[in-house]
Amino acid sequence: MKSILLTLLLCITVTTFSFSQEVSYGVRGGLNISNLDFDPDPTFSNQHRNGFVFGGFVDYGITERFSMLAELQYSAEGAKADELRADYIQLPLMARFGLGDKFTVGIGPMVSLKTWEENDAFATFTFSGVGGIEYMITDELFIDARVHYGLSNILDSDITNSEAQNTTFQFGFGIKI
């Protein structure tokens, strides 16, 4: 059922923006610096985790300065301790606004799907807000910086008595094909 909903969301995104003026595709990778914000504060050391992100994207140009970006990515997040690591398949959808010829800013929602079964304390689906800025080095190569802020509890409330949101900073690079 969950995979059907994710597939439906992707299909709606693709068909909704099929009228766009320009479509570009590409790949993106980068470094994650993430941590979990607990409520109440944990009694243990909660150190950030350095991880990686990679995936592919489709950018639908609606006007010369406005586009919608749909991305499918794998992201290693969570905290440093082994029992607090959280790896996800993510679908960020960003409304993007061009600021001149080189810079673009974007904001939007993101849904994440847990990719392993060993740790049942984590919820299967989580929701976040994502924002970022991109700089075009050439017509194809770019660098970017993003922040994901968790909007939902990533811990399964039936198993744990605490709540935690994932906050992630990403520094990436990519190429438009």
Helix (H) or strand (E) holding 29: strand 22-39
CATH of 2-176, one of 2.60.40.10, 3.40.50.300, 1.10.3370.10, 2.40.160.20: 2.40.160.20
Return d(Cα 116, Cα 31) in angstroms, integer: 21
Q: Domain coordinates of the chain in residue numbers?
A: 2-176
Tell me the per-residue pLDDT of 38-76, one tens digit each, with 9 for 90 and over.
Answer: 877 766 777 888 999 999 999 999 999 999 999 999 999
DSSP-based three-state secondary structure for 116: coil
Torsion sign, CA atoms 85, 114, 75, 155 = negative
- Whole-model pTM over 0.85: no
Residues in CB range of 36: below 8 A, 6 or more apart: 46, 78, 79, 84, 86, 154, 164, 165, 166, 167
State the pLDDT confidence band at 123, using cuts at 50, 70 and 90: confident
State the pLDDT confidence band at 20, using cuts at 50, 70 and 90: very low
